[in-house]
Structure 1
Amino acid sequence: MSDRIHAGIVGTGFMGTVHARAVRRAGAVVSRIVGSTPGSSAAAADRFDAEYATASVEELLEASDVDVVHVCTPNATHASIAAAALRAGKHVVCEKPLATGLAEADQLLAAAAGRVATVPFVYRFYPTVRAARARVADGTTGPVRLLHGHYLQDWMALPDDENWRVDPARGGGSRAFADIGVHWCDLAEFVSGDRIARLSARTVIAEPVRGGRPVRTEDAATVQFETVGGVAGSLVVSQVSPGRKNRLALSVDAARESLAFDQEQPETLWIGGRDGNRELRRGEEGSPYSLVPTGHPQGYQDCFDAFVADTYAAIGGQAPDGLPTFADGRRAAALTEAVLTSAATGTWIEVPR
């Protein structure tokens, strides 16, 4: 084998495609790919420019030409495949949720000791997000007083919209929060440097039946929370908001200025002040993640590319700042458990440490 990292990808859908592009952009090799059938594996090998289509997950995990395994399968299979990859001595990139339960996430975190094991909370890699984080960390904003925002989508807005995530056996006990709400929480904690300590949540099932089957996972959720540092916050999560495609919006209201990030307009960071407001444009913040000149937009795939590049840098012995690991995947599982428990009991819940 050469010095280039060789990746094996499990899963041939949209996320598998995103991962494959990022692997190649990092200068690595898509060595092997496996899908749910031999036909899907062969088609993906051609589409992903992989060296081999593999007959089974086990064969991919045993292959000597795979250094890192990317898990891009339905949620309920993440933990078992990631655990098997770690036992095989591989580094792992696992789609979130890392696991559909906190106990499994704890086990994976322990099993990952000595390996590079990451989860793609890729919104951290927008240069404007890094700029917001830096302003909070160096005291420019002053103490944070409020954290609030939303993550809204519309791909489940119509009564006949259906997806495998609706089935708890494949997607887990939470859908909207576990799928996108954890992204918002990760971003809020990453930017603020604070952590959600306790929360009160309500979940909403907008369409009780889809495809002739009862819906048991939430279409939307509202969350009130308090951080370890005593900051109050609120979040609205929805996959049934018409016209909202991927509206992750975070506001950090501090003593001297407010900051607002909108994932659908990621080229600017809004900075609010009593004496006037302004926008910091990407490219003005000096971030190493700003790859092209101002006015040439960077987007989601660029963030994913940066995440995978940093993961591979960590495999090479470096320590990239802000790389999301299995510890962050475990954190998401703890938040999800707290949200589901609060919604079921109608009470405030302490987030498991």
Structure 2
Amino acid sequence: MTRPPRDQSTPKHPGPRATANGNLAVPPPPRASAHSGSPPQMKKKTRVRAGIVGSGFSATFHYHSVSRIHGTDVEVVGVHSKDTTGGRAYAESREIQFFDSLDALIEHVDVVHVCVPPMFHEAVSVAALRRNRSVICEKPLTGYFGDGSPDFHWDRCDKQQALDVALASVARFFEAESASRGRLYYAENWVYAPAVQKEREILVKTGGQILWIHGEEAHSGSHSADYAHAARCGGGVLIGKGCHPLSAALYLKRVEGLARGGPPIRPRTVSARAHALTRLGTFRDEGHIRCNYYDIDDFAL
């Protein structure tokens, strides 16, 4: 779901650009003319006020990433969380403010870090964009969160309807950004991994072609309790974990197309398989991987 960046020759507004892992990248100061005889002017440090929505795992590493930014004065003003106890503890341990409402947090910041379960991504992001704040949204950007019925189960849902609803959600994100002075940044960190950026550099400089891409994301299971339920996380590993290598592959094919003087190369067709291995009757729980999923797929290709 990584959105291609706008033409950088006509930025929407000045200021730092957020990378997909939550960091902010500031353009280097202009060089002094060799013939001017004047020393280079010191560029005033940009100040960014950031707010975090959520107080769990992703909120923790977003805060840590922001604290490591150099060249930009980033102040984490505060946090808002529906988990009041956890949110207050998060704020107190970092000596930042706890906001009782999302609106109050948005009022005091320039950038909102969306670190809540995927079922809330759209609502929080759109609310911030409507107030002309920029948004750094965790992955997956959105998904299908069911029909609202208490007995919703991913195995039994209409997958075409799920796709249509998810794409409509993506469209609402982009519509909100188009009407805003803020920007939407999707937090996909594989795109900014050194190995991927090195490959991008090679493609740009050589005009080379990619014949085959193979990517994989595999581990013992998500830390999030919400990840067990499709109605909260929007889907299983195909979207929640597959988004990492898929985003990198789509990004590199886009770079390849532009580097060779053509349009971005986009997929023509997509095929996928998804399975729920840990929900099989023959599965043996030996304690190595998480297996308490309610209705999501836990293996996909």
Question: Scaled by the length of structure 1, what TM-score is found?
Answer: 0.55
Q: Which of 39-48 and 81-90 deviates more?
A: 39-48
**2: CA distance, partners of 1:39 / 1:162:** 18
Give unpaired runs (5+ residues) of structure 2: 1-44, 144-165, 255-264
Larger fraction in strand:
1
Q: CA deviation at 1:212?
A: 11
Q: Quote the residue 2:93 is aligned against.
A: 47
Structure 1 Cα separation of the partners of residues 118 and 76 of structure 2: 22
- Do the aligned residues in 2 keep the contact of 1:30 with 1:48 (CA within 8 Å)? no
The answer to whether the Cα contact below 8 Å between 2:277 and 2:298 also exists between their aligned partners in 1 is yes
The amino acid across from 2:239 in the alignment is A
In the alignment, which of 69, 83, 103 is matched to residue 37 of structure 1? 83
Q: Which residue of 2 aligns with 1:86?
A: 129
Residue 242 of structure 2: aligned partner: 181
Give the Å deviation of 1:151: 1.6
- 1:58 equivalenced with 2:103 (yes/no): yes
Q: Distance in 2 between matches of 1:171 and 1:54?
A: 25
The answer to whether residue 199 in structure 2 is matched with residue 139 in structure 1 is: no
Given candidates 43, 47, 56, the residue that maps to 1:4 is 47
Residue deviations 1:195-236, cap 9 Å, x none?
3321211101012289998732110111xxxxxxxxxxxxxx
Letter in 2 for 1:164: D
By relative contact order (CA 8 Å, sep 6+), the higher-ranking structure is 1
Whether 1:107 and 2:154 are equivalent positions in the alignment is no
Per-residue CA distance 1:318-341 (angstroms, 9 max, x = gap)? xxxxxxxxxxxxxxxxxxxxxxxx
Equivalent position to 1:95, from 130, 134, 138: 138
Distance 1:128 1:105, change over 3 A: same
Q: Which amino acid aligns with 1:134?
A: E
**Other-structure match for 2:183:** 116
Cα contact 2:50–2:78 (8 A) shared by 1: yes
The verdict on how the C-alpha distance between 1:110 and 1:207 changes in structure 2, with shifts beyond 3 A counting, is same
1:22 is the counterpart of 2:61? no
Number of residue pairs the alignment of both structures matches: 212
CA distance in 1, matches of 2:224, 2:110: 36
In structure 2, the residue matched to 1:243 is: none
SS class of match (1:196): coil
1:170 counterpart residue number: 232
Aligned-residue offset at 1:3: 5.4
What is the identity percentage for the equivalent residue pairs of Structure 1 and Structure 2?
A: 27
List structure 1 segments (4+ residues) > 6 angstroms apart after TM superposition.
Answer: 209-214
Q: Distance in 1 between matches of 2:268 and 2:98?
A: 45
2-side partners of 1:9 and 1:71: how far apart? Answer: 6
| Separation in structure 2 between the aligned mates of residue 96 and residue 12 of structure 1, nearest angstrom | 16
| Structure showing greater Rg | 2
2:100 corresponds to which letter in structure 1? A
Correspondences of 1:250-265 after superposition (within 5 Å): none
1:213 to 1:16, Cα distance in 2 relative to 1, 3 A: closer
Segments of 5+ residues of structure 1 without an aligned counterpart are 223-353
Distance in 2 of aligned mates of 1:37 and 1:76: 15
Q: Secondary structure at the match of 1:200?
A: coil
RMSD of aligned Cα (Å): 2.5
Which of residues 162, 183, 195 in structure 1 aligns to 2:266?
A: 195
Contact 1:34 1:41 in 2 (8 A): yes
Name 2:195's counterpart in structure 1.
128
